[in-house]
Structure 1
Amino acid sequence: MKRAFITGITGQDGSYLAELLLGKGYEVHGLVRRSSSMNRGRIDHLHTDQTLHLHYGDLTDGVGLVNLIRDIRPDEVYNLGAQSHVKVSFEMPDYTASTNSIGTLNLLEAIRAAGLDCRFYQASTSEMFGSTPPPQNEESKFHPRSPYGASKLQAHWVTVNYREAYGLYAVSGILFNHESPRRGENFVTRKITKAVAAISAGIQDHVELGNLEAIRDWGYAPEYVEGMWRMLQVDEPGDYVLATGVGHTVRDFCEAAFAHADLDWRDYVQHNDSFERPSEVDALIGDASRAAEVLDWRAQTTALDLARLMVDADRKDVDRLLHSD
C-alpha cells in the first residue's frame, strides 16, 4: 500500500486528492492546523475510512514537519497547504510569505533530513506569470503581481533547487484557476454562484464584485488533482502547466451563472472598488500541451459548464437549508 502525505487536506484540492488516492488504495495522511473550531467539512465524509489519518501541524513549524515526515515516511508528498487568496495576500504579505515560501522550504528540508526517497508535488500557480501575456506555458517568463504570486514563485524555485541540488523527485504543477462546489466562499467564482442561489431563493438581493474584465482560464478541480497524481507517476520529474486553454472574463462567468437560474446578471451585480487588487493580472490562459503529451492529461470541463455545475450545487444547498426544519 502506497502512503501519501497531503498538506492542505481540508481545502478544495486536498479533499478531492484525498478521495482520489483513497480510491486508488493509498494510505493517506493529512496535515491540519489546530484551531478552536473544526474546519473539516470537505473531508467529513472520509472519516470512516480507516486508511485516512490526520495530524495536527503547520507548514511554518519546521521541527514538527521533520518529526511527522520521519514518522510517516510517505512515498508521495503533496504540498497543497497555502494562504491562497490573492487579495488577502496584499493585506497579510508576511503571513503569506511565511506559509507559502518558508513553509515549502521547511517541508522539502524535512524530506531531505529524513533521508526519504519519496516523490514531492508542489502546488505552483498561474499567478506566478502575472503580467506575462498569454498563452502561458512552462517556458513563459514569470512576473508575479501580488505577494501571493511572489511567494509561490519562491516556493517554485526552491522546489527546482532541491530537485537539482539533492536529486529529489520534485515537481511543480503550475495550475491555472480550478473551481468546484467546494471552492472557498471568498473566491470570486463561488461568491458568484452562491449569490445566484441565494438571489433565486429570494434571500439576497445583489452581489458586489470587483474587476469584471479580468480574464481567467477556469477548470474543474477534480480533473486537476488527477493531473497532480499523474505528475508523480512518470519516470522523470518535471514541471507542468494544467489549464483548459480557454479564457473567459469574470463578466462571462457571471452571465453564465445567472442565466442558468433564468436571471439577468446586470440586475444583481454591483461594482465595489474595495474588491479591486492594487495591481491586477489582466489575462491568464494556459497552454497545457506538455501535460497532454507526457501525462495524457486534458481538461474536460469548460468554464461556463463549471459555472452551471456550481450553481446547481449551491441551489441544492440553499434548498436544503430552507427546508431543514
Structure 2
Amino acid sequence: EHLHGNPKLKLHYGDLTDSSNLNRILEKVAPDEIYNLAAQSHVQVSFEVPEYTAEADAVGTLRLLDAIKDTGVKARFYQASTSELYGKVQEVPQTEKTPFYPRSPYAVAKLYAFWMVVNYRESYGLHASNGILFNHESPRRGENFVTRKITLGVAKIRAGLQEHITMGNIDARRDWGFAGDYVRMMWMMLQQPQPDDYVVATGEMHSVREFIEKSFALTGVDIAWEGKDENETGIDKSTGKVVVKIDPKFYRPAEVEQLLGNPAKAKEKLNWEPEVKFEQLVEMMVRADCEKFGVPL
C-alpha cells in the first residue's frame, strides 16, 4: 500500500491464466528483468484448489516463458521455486542436486514450472533461473501462514483480544530465513552472466514448536507443554491458562516433516550470506504485530 503513491511504480493489469494479456504487457514494457512471484502459494489451500493451483503456478509459468520467447524481449527471468519440491526428503540437507519428491498439489505445480524454466533455458537460450527458496518470512507475511499466525496470535493474546492460538503439526521443522535476505539473492541471480538454479536457505532448521516458544517468550510468557498429539496444549506457566491448542483440521493430508537447505552454491558463486538470524526474525515479526495492536514489547 505504501508504494502506490510512488511515481516510479507502474501497475499493469495481468493474469497468468491469460496469454494474450502477458504478451501485450511484455511488448509494451519491454522489461530488462522479470521476477515471477505470482502463484497460489499456500500449501494447505492447494489441496482444496488443486486445479487452480496447477493453472496459475504450473501452466502460468509456461505462459510467461512462452511470452518472453514469442515477443523476443531480452529479459532475464527469475522463477520463484520452492523447498516444497523436496517434500518427502531424500537426503538432508537438500542441495540443487537432491532428488525431488513433491507432497502437495502446490509442490507438483512448482515442479512442472521448475523444469519448464530449465527446458526453455536449454532449448531457447533464455536467461532463466530457478531460486529454490526455503521458507522466508517477514512482518508482511500473509496472516494464514503458520509463522504469521503465531506472531499475530501472540500479539492478540498480549492485547487481550483472544485467549489462545490453534495449530496443526507443531513438530514440523523448517529452514526459516528473512524475506529481505532472499529477495536480495533473487536480484543477485539475475546479475550473473549465465543463468543457473540455486538453493536459497540459512542451513539451520527449527520446529514450529520452537517458533511458538520464542514468540511467547518475547512477551514474557513461558510455555509448558501438556498432553500428546491432538490433545497437546501449551500452558502459560505464570497463569495456568491454555494459550496453544492443537486441531487436526490444520494437518496436511501428506505432511512434510522437515526441510533443511544447503546454500553452499549460492554462498560460493554469488558471495551471498543471509544476514538475519532465526531469533532476530522471530523478534522482528512479534514486535511488528504487537505494535500493530498497541502493546509494544
TM-score by length of 1: 0.84
* Whole-Å separation in 2 of the counterparts to 1:317 and 1:209: 22
8 Å Cα contact 2:202-2:263 kept in structure 1: yes
Three-state SS of the structure 2 residue aligned to 1:319 is: coil
Match of 1:303 in 2: 278
1:151 and 1:316 map into 2 onto residues whose CA distance is: 37
User: CA distance change for structure 1 residues 147 and 269 in 2, over 3 Å: closer, same or farther?
Assistant: same
Return the alpha-carbon distance in structure 2 between the equivalents of residues 113 and 320 of structure 1.
53
Mapped pair 1:73 → 2:30: yes
Q: Which residue in 2 is equivalent to 1:313?
A: 288
Structure 1 stretches lacking a partner, 5+ long = 1-43
- For residues 169-196 of structure 1, the C-alpha deviation after alignment (integer angstroms, 9 at most, x for no partner) is 0000000000000000000000000000
Q: Look up the equivalent residue of 1:276 and give its one-letter code.
A: Y
> Are the equivalent residues in 1 in contact too, given 2:158–2:295 (CA < 8 A)?
no
Residue 59 of structure 1 and its aligned partner are, at CA, apart by 0.6
| 8 Å CA contact retained: 1:217, 1:303 | no
Q: Show the 5 A alignment for 1:57-206.
A: 57-132=14-89, 133-206=91-164
Residues 320 and 258 of structure 1: is their aligned pair in 2 closer, same or farther, counting only changes over 3 Å? closer
Partner of 1:291: 266
Deviations 1:21-51 (A, max 9, x none): xxxxxxxxxxxxxxxxxxxxxxx21223212
Shift of 1:303: 2.1
Select 1:252's aligned residue among 204, 210, 219.
210
CA deviation after TM superposition for structure 1 residue 320, in Å: 8.1
CA shift for structure 1 position 232: 0.2
Q: Distance in 1 between matches of 2:210 and 2:9?
A: 39
TM-score, normalisation: structure 2? 0.92
Counterpart position of 2:180: 222
**C-alpha separation in 2, matches of 1:279 and 1:200:** 34
Match of 1:211 in 2: 169
Counterpart Cα distance in 1 of 2:128 and 2:218: 42
Q: Distance in 1 between matches of 2:31 and 2:147?
A: 34
Distance 1:243 1:191 in 2: 22
1:309 positional shift? 1.1
Which amino acid is the alignment partner of residue 95 of structure 2? N
Aligned-partner residue type, residue 19 of structure 2: G
Change (3 A) 1:80 1:117: same
Superposed CA offset, 1:291-321 (max 9, x none): 0011111112222321111000000001189
- d(CA) in 2 for partners of 1:196 and 1:233? 40
Aligned partners of 1:235, 1:195: CA distance in 2, in Å? 45
Partner of 1:241: 199
Query: Do 1:76 and 1:120's aligned partners in 2 also have CA atoms closer than 8 Å?
Result: yes
Residues 271, 320 of structure 1: alpha-carbon distance in 2 compared, 3 angstrom cutoff: closer
Q: How is 1:269-280 mapped onto 2 (pairs within 5 angstroms)? A: 269-280=244-255
Distance in 2 between the 1:152 and 1:304 partners?
29
Aligned equivalent of 1:11: none
Which is greater in Rg? 2
Contact 2:159 / 2:295 at 8 angstroms: preserved in 1? no
Greater CA drift, 63-72 or 257-266: 257-266
Task: Report the identity percentage.
Answer: 53
